[in-house]
Structure 1
Amino acid sequence: MGRAGETPSPEPKLDPHRKKLMLCVWWDLEGVIYWELLDSKTALTAAVYSQQLNRLAGAVRTKRPSKTKVIIQHDNARPHIAKLTKAKIQELGWEILPHSAYSPDLALPDYHLFRDLQSNLNELHFENDEEAKKWLRTYFDQKPRIFFDRGIRSLLTK
């Protein structure tokens, strides 16, 4: 507070219209297999999700070449349960690990990852998408394998 008669100094306010990004990430016992950011202009539709699954399939072939069976778990969001998505998963020869139909939460392993990610992101602000991507690459690369292993194995104890 200033003195009477003084002009108050301006205080910068956070931009209420800051750009938001959606992180889409797929991971297993060993770590992150594939991730991408969607900007706020891109809606996650079944078509977009199916394209992501194609890119994920390529990443699985590259990063996990010895994998002969892929089991995917995702929540029950519309793009994840759409006919197009189910057809894509069948085309890829993957299996779906069911998620509780009435669960209000993320899939359990996602909760493990996103809770930790959120605690590391608190108070961070990125100037652009590239800065956010760089931070995420570093975050994922520095996570030890045991972190991901625990997240997947938590499914067995719930």
Structure 2
Amino acid sequence: MWDTTCRNWFRHFKNNDFKLEDKECSGALKKFEDEKLEELLDENRCQTLTELGKTLQVDESTVSKRLKVLGKIQKQGHWVPYELKPRDVERRFPMCELLLQQQKRKIFLHRIVTADGKWIHYNNPKHRKS
């Protein structure tokens, strides 16, 4: 791999091509706008990377990188924002308070689960002779 890369650069320099920027290749991946990706997620948050890549005609890794930049992660099959919005925090706060109050009200003995146990005696009539 390194040998091929060195030969290519040597050929460029020999032909008086001293530009160090990469040239556009015919097989280069298609670029897309983040707005298109966000529109697709607004339509259906349950799409997989493969489905999004096919729709946008790009590689899955490209979609994954763009989603990471947009701050989206997949939770239980849905693409959701990594950071909670203030209204989401406000909605969750009362529920957390309610759960804490409920935990303090119940005493320790209410959380113990008990059950009747039965002993089963197994009698094996076939004995091995020694």
| TM-score of the alignment, normalized to the shorter chain, above 0.5 | no
Shorter-chain TM band? under 0.3
* TM-score, normalised with respect to structure 1: 0.19
Of structures 1 and 2, the one with the larger relative CO (CA 8 A, separation 6+) is: 1
Larger Rg: 2
Determine which structure has the larger strand proportion and give its number: 1
Determine which structure has the larger helix proportion and give its number: 2
